[in-house]
Structure formats: C-alpha cells, structure tokens
Amino acid sequence: MADKIRIEQHSGSGLMWGAGWLFTIGFLQLTFWKGVLAVLLWPYYLGVLFMAWRPYRRP
C-alpha cells in the first residue's frame, strides 16, 4: 500500500503573526522609524511599557 501525502497550509498563523506586529507598533504609538526598529527589537519596547505599569519594588 502506498502512503498518502498530506499537505497542510498554515497561512492563518502567518496572518496572525503579521497582525500581532502591526498591533504592537500601533499600540505603542511608535513613529515610523521606531516602528521599523520595533520589528527587530519589539521585546525591548514591550518590556519598557510593562515596566511602567509595574509598581516599584526595592530589591
């Protein structure tokens, strides 16, 4: 018996990923060039945002 070949498309995941990038750039209200940098450095910008929401704690 021959094995069947199954082809799966995951284009929905790619669209969600792209929407996430655009949402992040818009949510942080970045300028165009900061938005370009955010594509490469978005974890830094999210960290800065969430650190502002966190209450200060002494070590």
Residue ranges of the domains in the chain? Answer: 32-59
In angstroms and rounded to an integer, the radius of gyration of the C-alpha atoms of the chain is 19
What pLDDT is stored for residue 24 in this prediction? 78
> Tokens 């940098």, residue?
37
What's the pTM value of the predicted model, to 2 decimals? 0.43
Asked if residues 18 and 39 have their Cβ atoms less than 8 Å apart, the reply is no
1: pLDDT strictly greater than 70: no
Question: Tens digit of pLDDT for each residue in 8-58?
Answer: 777 787 788 788 878 877 887 888 888 787 777 767 777 788 888 777 666
